[in-house]
Amino acid sequence: LIRRIKTLSSYINKDANVYALGKLLPTATWGIFQPQADRRNEMCDPATNDPIIIWTVGHVASSWFTKNGEPERQASLTVVPVSHSLAEQYTLLLAALSTPPLSASHIPLSLNGVRAIKWQSEKGSSEPILFDEVYDARDVFTNKKDMPHIAATELQKNDLVLLEGKITRYRTQDEDKKWTLLRVQMELLAVSLLSCAVLQDSRKPISGIREISGLRI
């Protein structure tokens, strides 16, 4: 398990645009508008304008997917990185990327963790659907289609997971109720369980997932 943690925590795959939290692309910047892909609010590789996928290995501090047994419109998962310094660096990064820049004290520490959010309802839809990009990687972390699914609600506090996300920004109001502020957050893309209690396996093929050749960690 220690070997897997070290490998995942230092992982870089430039072809797949995947970077561990402590190994982010130095030239990463906000994307640009293109007719088929408006990336202005996503952190991207400037060479390709593709969003950067960030891997964070850590323990679940809190999760919020349902309320009274029903999916919430917005889900969240907070993970405490295995390296405490990474949590501090992440907080400073969010502060620096905000417009105008914030002091680190204005960024919620989220229990010294990385808080990722995900809307569970599509635009124009009134019915939230439970986030389902959650996988059992206790035996091996590989491409999504080859890992069993587990329910997001089965994730427990202190579970060791790999959180996959991307950095995005959104507008919010200033003191004068004008939409002049830009704040930064992690958008949840997927979660893979690395270590916890036994869960029931459930395999099904997944479409639309970018595969990484030879990935087995």
DSSP track, 124-191: T--S------EEE-SS----GGGS-B--GGG--TT-EEEEEEEEEEEEE--TTS-S-EEEEEEEEEEE
pLDDT for the residue numbered 164:
97
For 7, other C-beta atoms within 10 Å of its C-beta total 13
β-partners of residue 135 are: 149, 192
How many Å apart are CA 111 and CA 59, to the nearest integer? 11
CB distance 138 to 5 below 8 Å: no
CB distance 129 to 120 below 8 Å: yes
Residue-wise pLDDT tens for the chain (217 aa)?
899 999 999 999 999 999 999 999 999 999 999 988 899 999 999 999 999 999 999 999 999 999 999 999 999 999 999 988 888 888 888 888 988 888 766 665 554 789 999 999 876 667 899 999 999 999 999 999 999 999 999 999 999 999 999 999 999 998 889 998 999 999 999 999 999 844 443 343 433 446 676 677 7
pLDDT for the residue numbered 212:
73
Any idea which architecture 2-195 has in CATH? Beta Barrel (2.40)
Spans of all domains in the chain: 2-195
pLDDT for the residue numbered 124:
64
How many Å apart are CA 12 and CA 171, to the nearest integer? 30
Calculate the CA 106 to chain-centre distance. Answer: 21
